[in-house]
Amino acid sequence: MSADRLVSGLEFLAATPLLWLSLTLGAYLVAVAVNERCNKMPLLNPTLLAIALVVVVLTVTGTSYKRYFDGAQFVHFLLGPAIVAMAIPLYRHTEMIRKSASALFAGLGIGCATAILSSVLLTRALGSGRELWLSMAPKSATAAISMAVSGKIGGVPALTAVLTISTGITGACLASYVLRLVGVKEWHARGFAMGLSSHGIATARAFQENEIAGTFAGLAMALNGIATAAFVPLIVKLLDRVG
Amino acid sequence: MSAIFLLILLQLIGESIVQVSGLPVPGAIIGLILLYAILIWRGEISDEMSRTSGFMLQNLGVLFVPAGVGVIAYLPMIATQWWIILLVLFVSVCATVAVTGLVVTRLSPRGIEAVEATAQS
């Protein structure tokens, strides 16, 4: 093969969406294999490992994110149908949800307030500017909602997207340890705490632990999306009045 | 095939409802509610739908990889404040997980573990 043909072949590969689609799926399979080798250690979260792998490949090959996303968007696109699919386990466990409904609503109210207040007050206490704490406030809600809320209250939606995804990864990596530390064993409570604090990425982790945990994580993610959209503007207004 | 078609179709309907009504909820959540209503109406889950949703939800983690890679493009944005952000996320996520988990456990009725055990088997 001549050098010219090799170069044009490589250019073709880099331009086809298949390459970046394959890289995304391949990186995830490697990440899952590594995670399973280490007894499914939560700290070695497959999503986090796969992201790191892809970033290394993109950096080494000098590939732009735009070019990568042209291929990877097919995976990203499936997020919507996957959320719709959560209706199946929710329907299957309706009885449990009904039985624990009052506990879930209490958890939603107190959990949502904790997520917003802890991040806003700590960010302010550490001397950060208004832009950062406003962008931080909705970080526990799923990205579509947190970005919309951030824009509405005067935050920076792109910054909120980064903070939201970082929150998801933090929760997916740490929640299991925290729940063990405070002695929460029931799957429904564990899942609900994961989905409320860290939306979809922790919900993915919860589904790997157990179907009940995943179901309640998905439920918490949906409910906290709505609660965050309602509470954040109120809390911001309140804090502005206090000064 | 019909299961994946239904999931995509319901999201499409959900997105359309959001567009028309201006509801502040993602279209996929509306699609979820619609599918739930269909399940109540039918009273059962088809094998194919059960398998399709199980497959998607077991592999949910991979769907966040493209967006996660995008975070790297914005890292310069947080470069000067990275330690504040890491500290706040660590404290806030741990506090939220602990508080929510404890509230739900303490307030759930006795015997919920028994329901969990039957649902498992």
- The rounded distance, in Å, linking the Cα atoms of A65 and A146 is 22
Same domain, A228 and A122: yes
Residues A49 and A130 in one domain: no
Q: A61 and A177, same structural domain?
A: no
> pLDDT tens, A192-227?
999 999 999 999 999 999 999 999 999 999 999 999
Q: Are residues A117 and A159 in the same domain?
A: yes
Segment A119-148, tens digit of pLDDT: 999 999 998 889 999 999 999 999 989 999
Do B56 and B87 share a domain, yes or no? Answer: no
Based on the fold, state whether residues A150 and A198 are members of the same structural domain.
yes
Domain's final residue, options A61, A77, A93: A77
Average pLDDT rounded to a whole number, residues B9-16: 96
pLDDT for A78-100, tens place per residue? 999 999 999 999 999 999 999 99
Tens digits of per-residue pLDDT, B47-56? 999 999 999 9
User: How far apart are alpha carbons A105 and A228 in whole angstroms?
Assistant: 14
Task: Report the number of distinct structural domains present in chain B.
Answer: 2
HSE of A159 in the Cβ direction (CA atoms, 13 Å)?
Answer: 20
Which chain B residues touch A153 with a CB distance below 8 Å?
none
Taking 80 as the threshold, does the pLDDT of residue B1 lie above it? no
- Picking from A29, A52, A77, the residue at the C-terminal end of a domain is A77
pLDDT recorded at residue A1: 54
Task: Give chain B positions within 8 Å (CB) of A96.
Answer: 112, 115-116, 119
Q: How far is B20 from chain A (nearest CA, A)?
A: 17
Instruction: Look up the domain containing B90 and give its range.
Output: 72-121
B112 with B78, same domain?
yes
Query: Which among A77, A95, A126 is the end of a domain?
Result: A77
Asked if A178 and B71 come within 8 Å (Cβ–Cβ), the reply is: no
Check whether residue A61 and residue A104 sit in a common domain.
Answer: no
Range of the domain at A200: 85-242
Residues A73 and A90 grouped into a single domain: no
A79: tokens are 């997020």
Cβ neighbours around B116 below 10 Å, total: 18
Are A171 and A223 part of one and the same domain? yes
**CA distance to partner chain B, nearest, from residue A16 (Å):** 16
Give Cβ neighbours of residue B24 (< 8 Å, ≥ 6 apart): A145, A148, A229
Share the mean pLDDT of chain A. Answer: 93
Based on the fold, state whether residues A70 and A90 are members of the same structural domain.
no
Mean pLDDT of B52-76: 90
- Minimal Cβ distance to B8: which of A25, A81, A165: A81
How many Å lie between the alpha carbon of A5 and the closest alpha carbon of chain B?
A: 31
A27, A175, A220 ranked by CB distance to B65: nearest = A27
In this prediction, residue A118 has a pLDDT band, given cuts at 50, 70 and 90, of very high
A110 and A203, same domain (yes or no): yes
Q: Write out the H or E segment, with its range, that includes residue A154.
A: none
Report the 3 state secondary structure along chain B. Answer: CHHHHHHHHHHHHHHHHHHHHCCCCCHHHHHHHHHHHHHHHHCCCCHHHHHHHHHHHHCHHHHHHHHHHHHHHCHHHHHHHHHHHHHHHHHHHHHHHHHHHHHHHHHCCCCHHHHHHHHHC
Q: What is the pLDDT of residues B81-117, one digit of tens each?
A: 889 999 999 999 999 999 999 999 999 988 777 776 6
